[in-house]
Amino acid sequence: GSEVEWDAFSIPELQNFLTILEKEEQDKIQQVQKKYDKFRQKLEEALRESQGKPG
């Protein structure tokens, strides 16, 4: 396997990796949240419109 030899890195380097990963993770989470917020808004609009029409 292509296992990373973590021993080859210094502690500061490893901590730096963690910081970068956490930032990436936050960015991804925000992207997903924005996407779903838009989706939810469209759904709610569609619901309101369909409820506003006489059956």
Extract the tokens encoding 8: 């080859």
Extract the tokens encoding 31: 């992207």
Rounded to whole angstroms, how far apart are CA atoms 42 and 50?
12
Extract the tokens encoding 9: 């890195």
Domain extents for the chain?
6-52
Q: What is the pLDDT of residue 55?
A: 64
Residue 2 banded pLDDT, cuts 50, 70, 90:
confident
**Which spans in the chain are helix H?**
11-52
| Residues above pLDDT 90, as percent of the chain | 84
Rounded to whole angstroms, how far apart are CA atoms 34 and 26?
12
pLDDT in tens, 33-45: 999 999 999 999 9
pLDDT in tens, 3-27: 989 899 999 999 999 999 999 999 9
